[in-house]
Amino acid sequence: MILLNPKNYGWETLDPETRELMLATIDFFEDKGKAKLKEDDRDRVWYADFLAFVKEHKAFATLMTPAGYGADDARWDTWRNCAFNEILGFYGLPYWYTWQVSMLGLGPIWMGDNEAVKERTARLLQEGGIFAFGLSEKEHGADIYATDMVLTPRPEGGYLANGSKYYIGNANQAAIVSTFGRMADNDEYVFFATDPERPEYELVKNVVNSQSYVAEYALHDYPVAEEDILARGRRAWDNALNTINVCKYNLGWASIGISTHAFYEAINHASNRHLYHMTVIDFPHVQQLFTDAYARLAAMKLFAMRASDYMRSASDDDRRYLLYNPMVKMKVTTEGERVINELWDVIAAKGFEKDMFFEMAARDIRALPKLEGTVHVNIALLIKFMPNYFFNPAEYQPLPLRSDRTDDAYLFHQAPARGLGKIRFHDYNLAYEGVELPNVRILRDQIDSFKQLLAIAAPTAEQQKDIDLLLAVGELFALVVYGQLILEAAPIHGADDDLLDQIFDFMVRDFSAHALELYSKPSVTDAQEALCLQMIKHPAVDPDRFQRVWRMVHGLNGQYEMNA
């Protein structure tokens, strides 16, 4: 089964020790129970109980310490981190968030050259420490060109840091806050380790209404020694971007976890709710909504699992993951919103009830597309890869499932964060060719028309200044990549033909919708309009296939309910 079920946990590819940690994490939340989970959410309780669990089981230390710095079982293994991501999202965004922002805070440390801070960080992780990433600012957001955090040299050596940071998770209790700034004398960028316990560190406030602590903090003549410096100049800049590139991937997994829990609640409710002398799930439109929601959720997970293989296999000669990661962040998280909306259309007012996990899910699912760069920023990033993706493929060896017990060391020693337009990809047609499912064939025709548009009616120089138009182009490109990795993942993870054709049913519809959106832009040319119309297709309708998928979806009724 593709979906996570905590009462029948899968992930058989995990090594026994990791699987034991995942089961212990599930037990922590199931022992806590949904009533207490919801009470803590309503009262915005800092999750000290979860952090105590993390400390006792050395969860963060095991999962987020690269090999060589921690215990024998410590390694940065993206595959097992996916499993942990999914579980934390399943039980609530705040628990996932403290993990996510710790990972962000650790990025500049593990990517830097300061071995003393690395050794200290490994000890702090062993002691249950959490971490923070001091990048964004109130006036500039994540525009790191404009940072106002300034380090001024001191005559006796070292520096004094002054400035503030905004929207920084964990900054209330972080063992180390990796803070980004610039030097006052030469504007050189710098990352440095900050200690929230120092008197020169002011914790201003929590800027959100949540269990999470998302801080505004300020440094007032905060002393920075040379031994606190993590990286300088271009290296600091690259480490900021590469940290985000690595960690934005996690957001898709949080969305998968949240949506999966909400799905179980919705199917349980609708299968046992009677209206007009019928069970709610007997209504044809309800069956369509549930089947679409399941297909979207399965696609989310298939894509994210396959993207993990590329991240784990990355090298200076293979940086394909830099396309697939923002796809997990942008596409998977927005699909999570679609899943919740479709489920909500079924359960209606039930989704507002205070004792439902769904009430949290409907609120929190909106956050994920807006963290670590908005959807628009990530689509703009995708477009940089489009020319090479379509018109300049390279040869790569086929990539297997990467569930091996290996430290993903390249993530902390990767190439500088530039030259994205030069990255090359294997031929996407390899994934689509030979798959003779009706809706895969239709999407392939749509893709051919889109590629033709790019070849003979590409956006003009003037149109390329029209961000609104380029975003529509980016959405179409994203669907091509989405379908490619789903097709690659399907045989690896056992997705059958019925489910796969149902997934491509919604993808044909989505592709048509984005083609119509592009067609409707004021600046499109006649040639572009004609090719957009070619992209608008009807999915292949197969009532028998739909019913087979629906019976499988309805079979999830009663398969999971969180302990009270």
- Mean pLDDT score, 165-181: 97
Predicted local confidence at residue 416, as pLDDT: 85
The rounded distance, in Å, linking the Cα atoms of 342 and 212 is: 27
CATH 3.40.50.410 fits 6-130, yes or no: no
Predicted local confidence at residue 146, as pLDDT: 84
What is the maximum span of the chain, computed from C-alpha positions, in angstroms?
Answer: 83
Q: How confident is the model at residue 277 (pLDDT cuts 50, 70, 90)?
A: confident
Q: How confident is the model at residue 563 (pLDDT cuts 50, 70, 90)?
A: very high
CATH number of the structural domain 248-395+426-554: 1.20.140.10
Tell me the CA distances in angstroms from 186 to 58, 153, 156, one per residue in order: 41, 11, 19
- Mean pLDDT score, 250-255: 97
Q: How confident is the model at residue 142 (pLDDT cuts 50, 70, 90)?
A: confident
Same fold, 132-233 and 248-395+426-554: no
The per-residue pLDDT for range 203-251, each reduced to its tens digit, is 999 999 999 999 999 999 999 999 999 999 999 999 999 999 999 999 9
Q: Are the C-beta atoms of residues 504 and 540 closer than 8 Å to each other? A: no
pLDDT at 308 over 90: yes
Listed by start position, the domains of the chain span: 6-130, 132-233, 248-395+426-554
Of the candidates 18, 201, 26, 176, the residue with the CA atom closest to the CA atom of residue 102: 176
Predicted local confidence at residue 123, as pLDDT: 98
pLDDT at 375 over 80: no
Predicted local confidence at residue 233, as pLDDT: 95
**The pairing of beta strand 189-194 with beta strand 214-224:** unpaired
Predicted local confidence at residue 559, as pLDDT: 97
Picking from 85-94, 169-178, 415-424, 503-512, which range would have the lowest pLDDT averaged per residue? 415-424
Of the candidates 292, 279, 270, the residue with the CA atom closest to the CA atom of residue 349: 270
The rounded distance, in Å, linking the Cα atoms of 396 and 426 is: 6
Predicted local confidence at residue 372, as pLDDT: 73
What would the DSSP string read from start to end of 139-172? TTBT-GGG---EEEE-TTSSEEEEEEEEEEETTT
Q: Are the C-beta atoms of residues 264 and 559 closer than 8 Å to each other? A: yes
- Mean pLDDT score, 136-159: 90
pLDDT at 80 over 80: yes
Instruction: Decide which of 1.10.274.50, 3.30.420.40, 2.40.110.10, 3.90.1300.10 is the CATH code for 132-233.
Output: 2.40.110.10
Write down the mean pLDDT value for the chain: 96
- Mean pLDDT score, 39-53: 97
The per-residue pLDDT for range 117-134, each reduced to its tens digit, is 999 999 999 999 999 999
Of the candidates 64, 84, 71, the residue with the CA atom closest to the CA atom of residue 20: 84
Question: Which residue type is seen at 394?
Answer: A
- Mean pLDDT score, 529-538: 97
pTM for the model stands at 0.97
Predicted local confidence at residue 415, as pLDDT: 82
Q: Which residues pair with 223 in a beta bridge?
A: 160
Calculate what percentage of the chain has a pLDDT beyond 70.
100
Tell me the CA distances in angstroms from 212 to 24, 52, 168, 243, 336, one per residue in order: 22, 16, 10, 21, 21
